[in-house]
Amino acid sequence: MLDEDLGLGPLHHAPAGKTERVKQVIVERIRSGAYPVGARLPGVRSVAEEFGVHANTVSRVYGELADEGLVRTVRGSGTFVVDVPGEAQANQAMAELSASLYSLALQARRLGLSREAWARLVTEAEAEGFRADGPTMWFVECSPRDTEELAASLCTLLEGRVRPLLTTDLRRRTSDFVEEGQLFITTPFHFEEVQAEVGADHQVVNVNVVPTSDTLVRLARLAPDAALTIVASNTATLSRFVAMVRTYMRVEPVATALAHEPEAQELVRRAEVLIDSQSIHDKVMDWGPSGEVITVRYQIEPTSVAYLRELLRVRGLD
């Protein structure tokens, strides 16, 4: 897939700004706990597909994070989080920003720009960089971790602020929706629910989400006769997981359960291969699974990103 499909420039020449945005999102996920210490980061190809960049760009980001002591790459196993960003990383980021500004100022001086001309350029760049990014945008989903991750991903892909919002918070947060013309982005599973809550003053749009490449690769590595057990937080998610297994593996799970059901704990302990979601993963791990655990993660389908970008452009919201 070419980055032009997402309007992000040529595939083999991802700009430095794109690299920095990918890095910022990953660092924020580590800081927020979406990628806790000890967690294996998604594969390079998976992240490249999520952000619409070349795999080399992601490898470079992982290398920089390793140099900063946040992750460690184990050959043959993957890249793992080993520390949480702290004051040192914040200071380093500020130092790098200051050095970049200094270099640009020197370049302007060599070109013969006056201080006044340089100040105008800086002011214009500041206004563009900090301008309001169109309408207030929300990404609405039912899983806290999925909501945070996908909202952060949309921030990078749309180059604007997209706020995470849980479906359970829709009614409680109505005071935040007084401003007309806000954009609510959600999945087909929650479209009608979101539309009913936010009313006619705001636009609600659908995007498709698909399992990440890392999730599907782990499924592909399973033995054809592997016995799969699925545990989910709600019936809609359970149905999605069953459909995923049928689509990609052409098998039926040997057992399914909702996390709140009495038999769930015993199924988890006995499962040869367990499939769960991010929203219940910590609880599932506390139950002591004995087999392999595959936690399903999602990414925004690239064609949906292209749709959103064009929607914002056509309506003059970008």
**Residue 275 pLDDT > 90, yes or no?**
yes
Which has more confidence, 87 or 212?
212
> Residues with Cβ < 8 Å from 283, sequence gap 6 or more?
259
pLDDT (tens digit per residue) in 212-234: 888 898 999 999 899 999 999 88
Please tell me the predicted confidence (pLDDT) of residue 93.
67
- In the chain, where are the structural domains located? 3-81, 87-129, 137-209+301-314, 213-296
Q: What is the pTM of this model?
A: 0.60
Top pLDDT among 230 and 164 is at 230
**CB atoms closer than 10 angstroms to residue 268:** 26
**What are the CA-CA distances from residue 43 to residues 9, 181, 214, 281 (Å)?**
22, 37, 6, 19
- Specify the pLDDT at position 10: 36
Averaged pLDDT, 109-116: 90
Topology of 137-209+301-314 in CATH? Rossmann fold (3.40.50)
249 within 8 A of 219, measured Cβ to Cβ = yes
pLDDT of 317: 59
Higher confidence at residue 155 or residue 237? 237
Tell me the mean pLDDT in the region 52-73: 89
pLDDT interval class at 9 (50, 70, 90)? very low
pLDDT band at 128 (very low <50, low <70, confident <90, very high): low
Output the 3-class SS for the chain.
CCHHHHCCCCCCCCCHHHHHHHHHHHHHHHHHCCCCCCCECCCHHHHHHHHCCCHHHHHHHHHHHHHCCCEEEECCCEEEECCCCCHHHHHHHHHHHHHHHHHHHHHHHHCCCCHHHHHHHHHHHHHHHCCCCCCCEEEEECCHHHHHHHHHHHHHHHCCCEEEEEHHHCCCCHHHHCCCCCEEEECCCCHHHHHHHHCCCCEEEECCEEECHHHHHHHHCCCCCCCEEEEECCHHHHHHHHHHHHHHHCCCCCEEEECCCCCHHHHHHHCCEEEEEHHHHHHHHHCCCCCEEEEECEEECHHHHHHHHHHHHHCCCC
Question: Span 3-81: which CATH code?
Answer: 1.10.10.10
154 contacts 185 by C-beta, under 8 angstroms: yes
> How does the average pLDDT of the chain come out, rounded?
83
Q: Is 55 exposed, middle or buried (0-12, 13-18, 19+ CB in 10 A)?
A: middle
- The percent of residues in the chain predicted with pLDDT above 90, rounded, is 30
Give 3 or 191, the one with higher predicted confidence.
Answer: 191
Residue 170 CA to residue 150 CA, distance in Å, equals 17
Using CA atoms, how far apart are residues 110 and 280, in angstroms rounded to an integer? 58
Q: Do domains 137-209+301-314 and 213-296 have the same CATH topology?
A: yes
Cβ atoms of residues 147 and 172 within 8 Å: no
- CATH fold of 213-296 reads Rossmann fold (3.40.50)
- What is the pLDDT, as a whole number, of residue 296? 93
What is the token pair recorded at 123?
Answer: 């002011």
Determine the pLDDT at residue 132.
Answer: 52
pLDDT of residue 174 exceeding 80, the answer is: no
Share of the chain above pLDDT 70, in %: 89
In this model, does residue 123 exceed pLDDT 90?
no
